[in-house]
Amino acid sequence: MLFRSAAVRLCFALQEGMHVIVRGRLTVYEIRGEYQIVIESVEPKGIGALQLAFEQLKERLATEGLFDQTRKKPIPPFPRTVGVVTSLTGAAIRDILAVLRRRWPTIHILIAPVQVQGESAGRQIAEALNALNDLSLVDVIIVGRGGGSLEDLWSFNEEIVVRAIAASHVPVVSAVGHETDVTLADFVADLRAPTPSSAAEAVVPVLADIVDRFRELHVRLEQAMRRHCTFERQRLNSAIRGVTDVRFRLQESAQRADDMVDRLNGLIQQLLAAGYERVHVVQRDLSSLNPILTIKQGLATVPQVSKRLEGQMEAILVRHRYRIHAMLAQLNTLSPLAVLGRGYSILQTVPAGQVLHRANDVVIGDELEAHLASGRLNCRVTRVFTDSSV
Secondary structure (3-state) at 40: strand
**Residue 28 region, left (φ>0) first, then alpha (ψ -120 to 50), else beta?**
beta
Distance of CA 380 to the CA centre of its chain: 105
* C-alpha distance from residue 183 to each of 73, 106, 248, 278 (Å): 19, 32, 84, 115
- Per-residue pLDDT, 387: 65
Say whether the peptide bond before residue 113 is cis (omega within 30 degrees of 0): no
Task: Judge whether 22 and 6 are in contact, CB under 8 Å.
Answer: no
- Per-residue pLDDT, 125: 93
81: buried, middle or exposed (CB in 10 Å: 19+, 13-18, 0-12)? middle
Distance of CA 381 to the CA centre of its chain: 108
**Residue 46 region, left (φ>0) first, then alpha (ψ -120 to 50), else beta?**
left
The one-digit pLDDT tens for each residue of the chain (390 residues) are: 888 777 766 666 676 666 677 788 888 878 888 888 888 777 765 455 666 777 777 888 888 888 898 999 999 999 999 999 999 988 899 999 999 999 988 899 999 999 998 888 999 999 999 999 998 899 999 999 988 777 788 888 888 999 999 999 999 999 998 877 788 888 999 999 989 999 999 999 888 778 778 888 888 898 899 888 888 888 888 887 777 777 777 778 888 888 888 888 888 988 888 888 888 888 777 776 767 767 777 777 778 878 888 888 888 888 888 888 888 877 777 777 777 777 778 888 888 888 888 888 788 888 888 888 788 888 988 888 876 554
